[in-house]
Chains A and B, each alone.
Chain A
Amino acid sequence: MEQEIQDYQIQNEVSQSSTDEGYQVKLEIFEGPLDLLLFLIRKKKIDIHDIPIAVITRDYLEYLEKKEQINLDREAEFLFIAALLIYIKSQMLLPREQEVSQEDDPRQILVDRLLEFQKIKVACTILREKEENQLLRWKRTFMPPVAKPDELDLLDVSLFDLAETFFLIMKRKERENFRVIKGKDVSVEEKLKEIVDYLEKNGSMDFLEYFSNQETLEEALVAFFCLLELVKNHTVIAIQEQLFQTIRVWLRKDRPHHLPHGQSHE
């Protein structure tokens, strides 16, 4: 957890998330209730498939009582599992006519969760080793400012990022009073050509700036669709360094000669 906070400081991304650190409270070594349960089970050398519910429930509640200061958010999660344990315990007490089959065992739901969680924990330790190993290998990362951006980033700016930025601008625009020039229809073809011309002239484009300069809502909408079209068509490449930041747009060197809709821009 400290690591996470430290991470934040290093990357200077504190702004939106620093308030969220409220619930990053240390509960001894336990990340969550399942961690604690697994710990108790191991400590008592209990077979996970045959948990003595009464014993485990007691140990678990004892631990919760010992903790005086549990952050409320986390407490709810710990209490949820406590409630589940007590529920299972009560189910076990009910008299039954026949021996219970495995599927009817009230403990099964907990066992399934613990087994799955245990698997993930082991996978984590293996991945952690791989991470440590990989962090020792450095790759070349230096990139000239307007070199051809890597394809990886292209893939990772999802439609959602684009849409999110778009709505951010729309929100800003809503607050402004802008006049609507009547009778001016903007066609997708014109806008496509305008964007490509702009890129050919200026090399790259600041998405946020360009769209805030659009005169009307309609025009901004059309421009946004055009950008999506150009990305799809492999004419341009769009990169966003971080969430909520502007998206920069470049023409691709290997772009097709046609604009979308078969329009030529030559």
Chain B
Amino acid sequence: MNEQLKAILEVLIFISQEPLTLEKIKEVLGEVPDEELKAALQALQEDYASDSRGIQVIQTAGGYLFTTKPEHDQWVRRLLQIEKKTKLSSAALETLSIIAYHQPITQAEISAIRGVDSTYSLKTLLQKKLIKIVGRKKAPGNPLVYRTTERFLQYFGLNSLDDLPKEEEIAKILEEEKQSIS
């Protein structure tokens, strides 16, 4: 194992405020074989996985990032004097998942799926930067078109949109629910 490479990677990830992508790492390090890089990253992640460590290296939104481990949440909150982190409202979450699965999508299309007006939820999501406007649809009225952002992926700890709950996963849960009712 290339210990020096591991140390450098640790530094790069530590300094980065946002998920550090493999491309960015390569840009900084220049010529390092992919396998060596991946092995070093893996080793680094394993080092931090130890129980004696409070922080960890996670893979999110297509990059590597240092975060605290979930079990130490209360200590962070005590330090920062934060009661609880606010969660998305169910209306906002519903709107967000519709956008995630159907993007690019307009407000009218979202409301049609939900059966209720979504103006307020969209506003909240835009303010939180979980979604963005990417243009207008060539349709009557030229409505705005929405997409999810990188911050959306990070917010849910997804590496890419491919990590969204899959059709089969959803079908399985529905099946289980059905069984439990009858």
Residue ranges of A at the interface with B (Cβ–Cβ < 8 Å)? 1, 3-4, 6-7, 10-11, 13, 17, 20-21, 23-24, 31-34, 42, 45, 73-74, 77, 80-81, 113, 116-128, 130-141, 143, 150-152, 155-156, 158, 160, 242-243
Contacts and interface: CB of A to CB of B under 8 A. Distances in A.
A155 B89 contact: no
A140 B157 CA distance: 15
Interface residues of B, number: 60
A128 to B, nearest CB: 6
Interface string B34-64: 0000000000000000000000101000000
A137 B48 CA distance: 14
Contacts, number: 157
A228 to B, nearest CB: 16
B138 interface: no
A156 B133 CA distance: 9
B29 interface: no
A29 to B, nearest CB: 10
B149 A156 contact: yes
- Residue among B94, B96, B134, B155 facing the most chain A CB atoms (10 A cut-off): B94
A85 to B, nearest CB: 12
A156 B132 contact: yes
B141 interface: no
A118 B129 CA distance: 26
A27 to B, nearest CB: 10
Nearest to B173: A122
Contacts of B87: 3, 128, 131-132, 135
Contacts of B67: 137-139
